[in-house]
């Protein structure tokens, strides 16, 4: 039996979907443990590009069970749309998708609260406005709606209407919002009925698979630096995308996990607001964005781009306990004469190689760089580590040595098989 976790090591968008898709070929189950419809995990079926927002990336693997864990907040409307997209593209999912009964539900009320909060906030977070934050707030306020509630539509409607009344009374929404939301609630109820048969005791299902020694893959959304506990607060998500979220989001103790794979881009990106020490505002930044097609799969927003931050990566390793890392989009660096890696932060005339010293205020730090000579030759067609240019091998080995974790997988293109696995 092997239980493997795939965790984003940066600010999300690291290429987790592709790696989960790769590793799921040997998995009996893929389980998401946190987040909601704000994932944008991209996988390919031949030439067909498929973007997954809630469904685990193992859906393309035949006979692989896909679990939406209790740590997620599920949007029935978006999920039905996503399932329809999969069906249209020939991806069969009948009987393979299982929703945790105690997962919480995103309603149209939550979505509108999210949008209004972002509109009226003096400090915009850059939320996707998909209702995820407000749904988590209700969860921890102990007044949330759970997936098990989907089996009683009359009671479900009453709970949603009660939440709408409360939102208006509290000032989260205004009375004019009631008409539009009420129309959306009817669609929400229709789609809730569609996914209700998928709701079940996923805890028992997961542990039965553990006991029968089957291969399980655990999929995180977003990235460690967006973790509500360890990320660049307040510019974070509302859950724990780090490995600690596995135990709470699935009911699976970390002692059962054999392998924790950290996913990093060979450079760094970020979507939305928040500090970003290695962000580039020059031609190199634009070049990374254009070559890497750095636009959000969920929002379409242009991503901010910068050099690889090894200080941040080491911090992420410490939080997650990565046993290995994957570097994605290494091929994007094929086109640069000089490539930099951040090895320290300078602040107030002092240098440090620990992000934790400045995590509360990274806006004042200045990155300290080590510069590498670019290799200026294509890597996409290479399938063996030994065949990579020596300069690439030096770049990879430096990162591995600095963060103290070996690089085991390299992605050198968007395709499913554009992968190098290092023994």
Q: From CA 180, how far away is CA 112, in angstroms rounded?
A: 10
> Per-residue pLDDT tens for 322-342?
999 999 999 999 999 999 999
Q: Say if residue 89 is in the same domain as residue 137.
A: no
Long-range CB pairs of 148-153, under 8 A, 24+ apart, other chains included? 148/101, 148/102, 148/199, 149/105, 150/76, 150/105, 150/192, 150/193, 150/195, 150/196, 150/199, 151/196, 151/199, 153/189, 153/192, 153/193
Q: Say if residue 314 is in the same domain as residue 400.
A: yes
Furthest-apart CA atoms within the chain: distance in Å: 65
3-state helix, strand, coil in the chain (%, to 5): 40, 20, 40
| DSSP 8-state code for residue 387 | G
CA-wise closest residue to 330 among 281, 285, 374: 374
pLDDT in the model for residue 339: 98
| Residue in 13, 75, 191, 284 annotated catalytic | 13
Q: Say if residue 144 is in the same domain as residue 120.
A: yes
Q: Say if residue 300 is in the same domain as residue 366.
A: yes
Q: In total, how many domains does the chain have?
A: 3
Q: Say if residue 300 is in the same domain as residue 243.
A: no
Strand-strand pairing, 407-411 and 419-421? antiparallel
pLDDT in the model for residue 49: 86
Q: Say if residue 113 is in the same domain as residue 94.
A: no
Query: What does the pLDDT average to over 289-301?
Result: 84
Q: Say if residue 170 is in the same domain as residue 218.
A: no
pTM: 0.93
> Per-residue pLDDT tens for 216-251?
999 999 999 999 999 999 999 999 999 999 999 999
Query: What does the pLDDT average to over 309-324?
Result: 98
Instruction: Report the CATH number at residue 410.
Output: 3.90.170.10
| Residue in 21, 41, 110, 191 annotated catalytic | 41
The Cα-based distances of 205 to 193, 325, 336, 407 in angstroms read 22, 29, 48, 32
Query: What does the pLDDT average to over 381-403?
Result: 96
Residue 41 catalytic? yes
CA angle (237, 15, 270) in 5-degree steps: 45
Neighbours of 162 (CB within 10 A): 13
Helix-helix angle 177-195:76-88, to 10 degrees? 50
Q: Say if residue 309 is in the same domain as residue 164.
A: no
pLDDT in the model for residue 356: 84
| DSSP 8-state code for residue 106 | -
| The two three-digit tokens of residue 18, written as one number | 């592709």
Backbone φ, ψ for residue 299 (5° rounding): -105, -20
Question: Which of 211, 240, 260 marks a domain boundary?
Answer: 260
Instruction: Report the CATH number at residue 14.
Output: 3.40.440.10
| DSSP 8-state code for residue 52 | E
Instruction: Report the CATH number at residue 123.
Output: 1.10.300.10
Question: Which of 196, 211, 227 marks a domain boundary?
Answer: 196
Q: Say if residue 251 is in the same domain as residue 180.
A: no
Question: Which of 238, 260, 282 marks a domain boundary?
Answer: 260
| DSSP 8-state code for residue 60 | G
Q: Say if residue 256 is in the same domain as residue 272.
A: no
What's the N-to-C CA distance of the chain in angstroms?
20
Q: Say if residue 184 is in the same domain as residue 295.
A: no
Residue 74 above 90 pLDDT? yes
> Per-residue pLDDT tens for 174-208?
999 998 898 899 999 999 999 999 999 999 999 99
Q: Say if residue 388 is in the same domain as residue 320.
A: yes
> For residue 407, what are the domain limits?
265-421
């Amino acid at each position: 039996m092997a239980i493997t976790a795939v965790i984003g090591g940066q600010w999300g968008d690291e290429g987790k979907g592709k790696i989960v898709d790769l590793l799921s070929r040997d998995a009996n189950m893929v389980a998401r443990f946190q987040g909601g419809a704000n994932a944008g995990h991209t996988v390919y079926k031949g030439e067909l590009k498929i973007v997954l927002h809630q469904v685990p990336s193992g859906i393309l693997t035949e006979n692989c069970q896909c679990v939406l864990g209790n740590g997620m907040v599920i949007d029935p409307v978006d999920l039905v749309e996503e399932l329809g997209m999969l069906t249209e593209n020939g991806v069969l999912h009948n009987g393979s998708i299982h929703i945790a009964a105690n997962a919480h539900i995103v309603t149209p009320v939550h979505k509108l609260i999210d949008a209004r909060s972002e509109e009226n906030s003096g400090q915009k977070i850059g939320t996707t406005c998909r209702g995820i934050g407000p749904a988590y707030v209700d969860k921890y306020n102990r007044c949330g709606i759970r997936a098990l509630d989907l089996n009683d539509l009359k009671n479900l409607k009453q709970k949603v209407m009660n939440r709408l009344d409360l939102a208006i009374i509290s000032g989260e929404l205004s009375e004019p919002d009631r008409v539009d939301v009420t129309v959306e609630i009817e669609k929400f109820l229709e789609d809730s009925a569609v996914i209700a048969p998928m709701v079940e005791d996923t805890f028992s299902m997961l542990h039965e698979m553990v006991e029968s020694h089957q291969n399980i893959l655990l999929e995180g959304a977003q990235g460690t630096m967006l973790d509500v506990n360890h990320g660049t607060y307040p510019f974070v998500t509302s859950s724990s995308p780090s490995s600690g979220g596995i135990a709470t989001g699935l009911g699976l103790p970390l002692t059962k996990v054999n392998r924790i794979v950290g996913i990093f881009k060979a450079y760094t990106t970020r979507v939305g607001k928040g500090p970003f020490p290695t962000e580039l505002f020059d031609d190199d930044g634009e070049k990374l964005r254009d070559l890497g097609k750095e636009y959000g799969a969920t929002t379409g927003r242009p991503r901010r781009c910068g050099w690889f931050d090894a200080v941040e990566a080491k911090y992420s390793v410490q939080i997650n306990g990565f046993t290995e890392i994957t570097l994605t989009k290494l091929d994007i660096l094929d086109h640069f004469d000089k490539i930099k890696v951040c090895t320290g932060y300078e602040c107030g005339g002092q240098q440090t190689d620990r992000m934790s010293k400045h995590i509360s205020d990274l806006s004042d730090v200045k990155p300290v760089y080590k510069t590498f000579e670019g290799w200026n030759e294509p890597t996409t067609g290479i399938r063996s580590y030994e065949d990579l240019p020596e300069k690439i091998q030096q770049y990879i080995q430096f990162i591995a040595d600095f963060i103290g974790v070996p690089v085991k997988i390299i992605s050198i293109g968007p395709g499913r098989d554009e992968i190098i696995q290092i023994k």
